[in-house]
Amino acid sequence: MSDDTRPWPQAGRERMILPSPIGRIGTGAHDPEAELVASMDDQHVFMMGDNPALPRMPEKPTLLDFYRYRFGAITVRHLLGAAKRALDDGRSDHVVMACLLHDISNGCLLRPDHGYWGAQLVAPYVDPEVAWAIKYHQALRYVPDAAVGYRYPESYHRFFGPDYQVPAYLQRDAEYARNHPWYMTARLVTLYDIYFFDDTAQEVNPDFFEALVARNFRQPAEGLGHDDSPSSHMWRTMIWPNNFL
């Protein structure tokens, strides 16, 4: 990236960032919108485009560039670890891909309903079975399946408390998934979806999955976010997460 000579946008002015409300409301964090709007002048504008505080994305970003330059370290380690476990067990490309992608929404976009958001992100680019498995892994994580040795995750007791009640929509969607022909694809994602609080055991580089991604992800020639698929705007939001609009 060091040979990147593209100029930074809005040069010479302070670029103010107004955090997206979805990550702020309810947290007690101050809403700075009023004072930031009041401080606009010819030296202060709202940020639009590349933020120098973030690694700069290539002009034509690939899927794995988001692992390299945008997703948080915990998410990257978790996704690469899940995919590696599936691969080591000899699972199909669809299962390994679904493992590699299952939590990408957590990486840089949205945590709530991450399975649903993640499925929409990748749906234009992957086999429908892969997107389906990503969508339904979220609900199936709460549902044991003794036949394949899947139990309610110990980590969820710690995340949510032992008395957490699974909401009705997740129970409904898990029941739907259980009776679907692709059930086992999503179920296998939950089997390899092991969250270690101190998971440093398996260091995997995103490059390791280049060939798998080349076979199973229809990378747009313009770059993710710069094509015109139904989810391009979601990838752009991760490229420019601090845009005012």
How far is it, in rounded angstroms, from Cα 75 to Cα 110?
12
Burial state string for 138-157 with b = 16 or more CB within 10 A and e = fewer than 16: bbbbbbeeeeeebeebeeee
Cβ-count burial of 85 within 10 angstroms (0-12 exposed, 13-18 middle, 19+ buried)? middle
Least distance from Fe ion to the Cβ atom of residue 53, Å: 27
Least distance from Fe ion to the Cβ atom of residue 180, Å: 18
Least distance from Fe ion to the Cβ atom of residue 185, Å: 14
Least distance from Fe ion to the Cβ atom of residue 193, Å: 4
- CB-wise, 15 or 84, nearer to Fe ion? 84
Question: How many Cα atoms sit within 13 Å of 190 on the Cβ side?
Answer: 29
- CB-wise, 15 or 78, nearer to Fe ion? 78
Q: How far is CA 129 from CA 98, 100, 118, 136, 186, in A?
A: 9, 14, 13, 11, 9
Position of minimal CB gap to Fe ion:
193
How far is it, in rounded angstroms, from Cα 196 to Cα 194?
6
Least distance from Fe ion to the Cβ atom of residue 227, Å: 26
Binding stretches for Fe ion (CB under 5 A) = 103, 193
Least distance from Fe ion to the Cβ atom of residue 48, Å: 32
- CB-wise, 83 or 238, nearer to Fe ion? 83
124's tokens? 């234009």
- CB-wise, 145 or 222, nearer to Fe ion? 145
Q: How far is CA 128 from CA 80, 117, 209, 216, in A?
A: 21, 15, 20, 11
- CB-wise, 50 or 103, nearer to Fe ion? 103
- CB-wise, 103 or 127, nearer to Fe ion? 103
